[in-house]
Homo-oligomer: A and B are copies of this chain.
């Protein structure tokens, strides 16, 4: 007993080291499994496409220029004079007012007429969208124009199926309650009815002739800018649309339309004339002094 007693401090020390070691190991395992779990159980209602891009875009910034044109590429190009038409101050003012009035009539419209629209007009609005600036002049956009009734219907099925899940399972309690009142909300009739669906894909990277990948700087911002110009072009010819971002449908729609892996769905625009009974919510826009600060 005396021997045991005299060994107590040693025994305690050894025991503590052993316990400490086991404890540390179990903690490490716990941390790792926690991490793994949090990786795996990534919330199902988070759009994977957008997540992909998020990662890529933070990598992008590492080598970015502040100007959108790749200066290196640009230096190798001939530079040509640029002398566009100039308007007098009066003309400018008139033009700016007229364009504002036109654009201010634009509304997001979900009631679209099945009436056919000349395809040449659609070609021209897509051409116009293609005049947007882009990071390093990569032009990282693909516009898939769908008029085939079967494909439109498949798109509708994919979106409504996901949307029903979004509404029923992926949204918060507040949404679930709203759902009861808004039964038809995941039903997107316009996807069948509109003569055209324009699916806008951003190319998250490019593929060089050598097969190597090429960074597409700011591809999401660039494609969004081109969508702004597309909206202006549609409004200019009297067509309507609604800017939608089909949640969680990107991979299925990409696969349906056989787009390559570097393309991610950014937006879907149903396009046509407004239905004769089209209605829009009575929304107001902010005044100039709420959106502009003059210094």
Interface residue A271 (Cβ < 8 Å from any Cβ of B): no
**A92-107 interface mask toward B, CB cutoff 8 Å, 1 = contact, 0 = none?**
1101110110011111
Given contacts A227-B228, A228-B224, A247-B65, contact A125 B96 (CB under 8 A): yes
Q: A85 → chain B, closest Cβ, in Å? A: 6
**A137-149 interface mask toward B, CB cutoff 8 Å, 1 = contact, 0 = none?**
1010111111110
**Contact B231–A132 (Cβ < 8 Å):** yes
**Which of chain B's residues has its CB closest to A120's CB?**
B93
Specify which of B93, B103, B247, B292 is in contact with A64 (CB 8 Å cutoff).
B247
**Which of chain B's residues has its CB closest to A144's CB?**
B293
- A2 contact set on B, CB distance < 8 A: 1
**Contact B126–A291 (Cβ < 8 Å):** yes
- A220 contact set on B, CB distance < 8 A: 220-221, 224
How many copies of this chain does the complex contain? 2
Specify which of B20, B46, B274 is in contact with A82 (CB 8 Å cutoff).
B274
**Contact B231–A123 (Cβ < 8 Å):** no
- A237 contact set on B, CB distance < 8 A: 87, 92, 95-96, 99
Q: Which of A31, A109, A147, A237 has the most CB of B within 10 A?
A: A237
Interface residue A194 (Cβ < 8 Å from any Cβ of B): no
**Contact A280–B229 (Cβ < 8 Å):** no
Interface residue A281 (Cβ < 8 Å from any Cβ of B): yes
Interface residue A163 (Cβ < 8 Å from any Cβ of B): yes
Query: In the complex the two chains form, what is the Cα distance from A131 to B284 in whole Å?
Result: 10
Q: A119 → chain B, closest Cβ, in Å? A: 8
Query: In the complex the two chains form, what is the Cα distance from A83 to B151 in whole Å?
Result: 29
Query: In the complex the two chains form, what is the Cα distance from A132 to B106 in whole Å?
Result: 8
- A267 contact set on B, CB distance < 8 A: 221
Specify which of B97, B125, B137, B273 is in contact with A283 (CB 8 Å cutoff).
B137
Which A residues have a C-beta under 8 Å from some C-beta of B? 1-2, 4-5, 8, 11-12, 15-16, 19-20, 23-24, 27, 31, 43, 45-47, 50-51, 54, 57-58, 61-69, 71-72, 74-75, 77-87, 89, 92-93, 95-97, 99-100, 103-111, 117-118, 120-121, 123-133, 137, 139, 141-148, 151, 159, 163, 166, 170-172, 174-175, 178, 181-182, 185, 218, 220-221, 224-233, 236-240, 242-247, 249, 257, 259, 266-267, 273-274, 276-283, 285-286, 288, 291-295
New A-B contacts (11) at CB < 8 Å, excluding given A83-B274, A151-B295:
A46-B61, A66-B244, A68-B243, A71-B182, A78-B281, A78-B282, A82-B278, A86-B238, A96-B121, A99-B237, A100-B125
14 pairs across A/B with beta carbons < 8 Å? A8-B11, A43-B62, A63-B172, A74-B281, A74-B283, A92-B237, A96-B121, A97-B124, A108-B133, A123-B288, A127-B288, A146-B295, A221-B224, A228-B229
